[in-house]
Structure 1
Amino acid sequence: MKNIFSIFLVLACFTVAKAQNVTPPRGSSFQDSVRSENSDGGKVILVNGEAMNTAKDFIENLTSSKTHTIFLASLRAASLVGTFKSRGPLTVFVPSDTAFTQKLGKKLDTLTKPAHKYELINLLSYHAVPGNYTAKELNKLIKDGKGEAALLTLSGSKLIARIDENRNIVLYDENGGKSVVSQFDIKQSNGTMHYTTQVLIPKDRAL
């Protein structure tokens, strides 16, 4: 119960981190795509052919994605929609549907049941970090940390970020699992979203 209370406390009181300008890694693919001004003042960005609006929040933009439906559905099942629609800023690492099915398989159905809601909250909040961390920011943190950076997530557990031999940003969970940032700097009204190749699992939950 103490651990669960801590998660809720972090979700309710996450702090703001400031951005800095540094050189981005070369390996990860930026959403270098067509942009056009929108009537609401934001910009429409095509990410893998899917329209993202910089004036919209995480939930609104994820609704437009056909390859990240499990993450969005899980946020709804965990009652975390409000957190990801908040002012933030947040940095969110979003695994694809393929990543979820490969990593969790049938366990995903179990996690989305009410009896396992707190486990699902812990898993999803492990993919979000308070603050607005672009690829440039992450690269600088890794450089300053002499090869790695510890990121404190909303779950209260840490992710480790490193740069691999291909200059990709790679995230490591507490079990040694790793996930490559495959698409980075997808700007949201309340933070920054990065697409990743794998689901990250916090150590204190057996999934």
Structure 2
Amino acid sequence: MIKSISAAAAIVAVLATGASYAQSNPTVGGAAMFEDRTIVENAVNSPIHTTLVAAVQAADLVETLSSAGPFTVFAPVNDAFAALPAGTVEGLLQPESKDQLVKVLTAHVVAGDLSGGELLRDVQAAGGELELTTVSGDTLTVVESGNGLAVRDENGGMAIITTADVDQSNGVIHVIDAVLLPN
């Protein structure tokens, strides 16, 4: 009986220890992100992505980013949009700028589900720079930066991935600190 209790206690201890090491989806802006929700369903809960959500809605991309995908989205935070020249965001959100807004937003999206680990491995295998073709047809270049990864747009603009591997039901989000601009 004592051996059975000791064995059961050992199993519980192993399971509890394993659970403490289980990796959960990162929070974004303090908000929980759920792996069983789509990119759009999670983004609307992120307090640091309200500008991005408004832009996705204005561009009529909600349905697309809610589809099966999978997509890898480099998601700029509100501060990234605020750092653009005055009036840029407001101008892009106007109905007459919809095509340009779609181009900017889809320049942040790559087909497939590319984790931070996969990106790092592929950057290293490619000699330090990995080119990705976006949904808009533009090119993003992923490079190592400090202890992580950065993404460079076609104009030389750089964004640091501040939170990687926010898993979604239809892909993955990597939070970035700058807006990537297509040519």
After TM superposition, the score normalised by the length of structure 1 is 0.75
* 1:104-158 alpha-carbon deviations (Å, 9 max, x no partner): 4311111111111000000000000000000011011111211100010000000
1:199 to 176, 179, 183: 179
Residue 3 of structure 2 corresponds to residue 47 of structure 1: no
Q: CA RMSD in A?
A: 1.7
Q: Which has the higher helix share?
A: 2
Q: Displacement, 1:46?
A: 3.1
2:92 to 99, 108, 111: 111
Equivalent position amino acid for 1:194 in 2: H
Q: Secondary structure at the match of 1:50?
A: coil
Gaps in structure 2 of 5+ consecutive residues: 1-20
- Residues in 1 aligned to 2:162 and 2:63: alpha-carbon distance in whole angstroms: 26
1:183 to 155, 160, 163: 163
**Is the radius of gyration larger for structure 1 or structure 2?**
2
Aligned position for 1:174:
154
- Residues in 1 aligned to 2:83 and 2:99: alpha-carbon distance in whole angstroms: 22
After TM superposition, which residue ranges in structure 1, 4 or more long, deviate above 6 angstroms? Answer: none
Aligned position for 1:91:
72
Q: Secondary structure at the match of 2:118?
A: helix
Q: Percent same amino acid among aligned pairs?
A: 34
Equivalent position amino acid for 1:68 in 2: H
CA distance change for structure 1 residues 139 and 109 in 2, over 3 Å: closer, same or farther?
same
Q: Secondary structure at the match of 1:192?
A: strand
The count of aligned residue pairs is 163
Gaps in structure 1 of 5+ consecutive residues: 1-31, 36-43
- Residues in 2 aligned to 1:191 and 1:177: alpha-carbon distance in whole angstroms: 24
Q: Displacement, 1:168?
A: 1.7
CA contact (8 A) 1:45 1:54 kept: no
